[in-house]
Amino acid sequence: MLSLSVNGQSYPVDVPDDMPLLWVLRDVIGLTGTKFGCGIAQCGACTVHLDGQPVRSCVLPVGSIGNKAITTIEAVGNTPSGQKIQQAWLDVDVVQCGYCQSGQIMSAAALLQRTPNPSDADIDAAMSGNICRCGTYVRIRAAIKQAATGKLEILQTIVSAPEGARS
Ligand code: FES
Ligand code: FES
């Protein structure tokens, strides 16, 4: 029997040590906000925090966690950086289908926690492992900057007129 600290609560779980944390969170504990995407640490949909660091829960054996604190999307809004990121996500209206967004928010909150005013390069490095099939990357970047600076970035939309309509 393992004991996991998840979102400030202790959960006894009777599972094999090599079961990925994602399965335990979703199927045993019932926290389904964290998503399964690829299952091989390539998409970031399953990102949670372990002692504040973003990790891919789909490939993290639950037996390796010990007494480290796990934070999921259900509780990241209780942290200062998570609260700022979630508010910015709403202000910038980041989400499309939403499937990748738990992971995006978890990676962004961890970035803001360790780098309060991230550069474009910092954002690229922190977010490059989180894939969005809907292509919300421009709004994700704007939301992270807003969370860091409190300023809403103007999003540029490039509209191409058909060739014949330009004269
Ligand atoms: S489901 Fe874990 S990285 Fe894709
Ligand atoms: S919002 Fe649809 S996959 Fe990212």
How many angstroms separate the CA atoms of 89 and 67, rounded?
31
Query: What pTM, to 2 d.p., does this model score?
Result: 0.92
Percent of the chain surpassing pLDDT 70: 91
Q: What pLDDT digit, counting tens, does each position of 69-78 carry?
A: 999 999 999 9
First to last CA, the chain: 73
Which residue from 56, 100, 104 has its CB within 8 A of the most atoms of ligand 1, so it is best to mutate? Answer: 56
Q: In this structure, which residue's CA is closest to atom 3 in ligand 1? A: 41
Find the residues whose C-beta lies inside 6 A of ligand 2.
95-101, 132-134, 136
Closest CA to 46 of 26, 16, 18: 26
**Residue 165 confidence (pLDDT):** 45
Q: Is the pLDDT of residue 50 over 90?
A: yes
How many angstroms separate the CA atoms of 127 and 141, rounded?
9
How many angstroms separate the CA atoms of 15 and 112, rounded?
33
User: 166 near 160, Cβ under 8 Å?
Assistant: no
Q: What pLDDT digit, counting tens, does each position of 79-128 carry?
A: 999 999 999 999 999 999 999 999 999 999 999 999 999 999 999 999 99
- Residue 131's alpha-carbon distances to 27, 79, 124, in angstroms, are 24, 24, 12
Provide the edge-to-edge strand list for the sheet that holds 69-71. Answer: 9-13, 2-6, 69-71, 47-50, 53-56
Q: State the Cα torsion 38-67-78-135 to the nearest 10°.
A: -10
Structural domains of the chain sorted by starting position, each given as residue range(s) with its CATH number in brackets? 2-71 (3.10.20.30), 76-149 (1.10.150.120)
Which residue from 43, 55, 130 has its CB within 8 A of the most atoms of ligand 1, so it is best to mutate? Answer: 43
User: 62 near 20, Cβ under 8 Å?
Assistant: yes
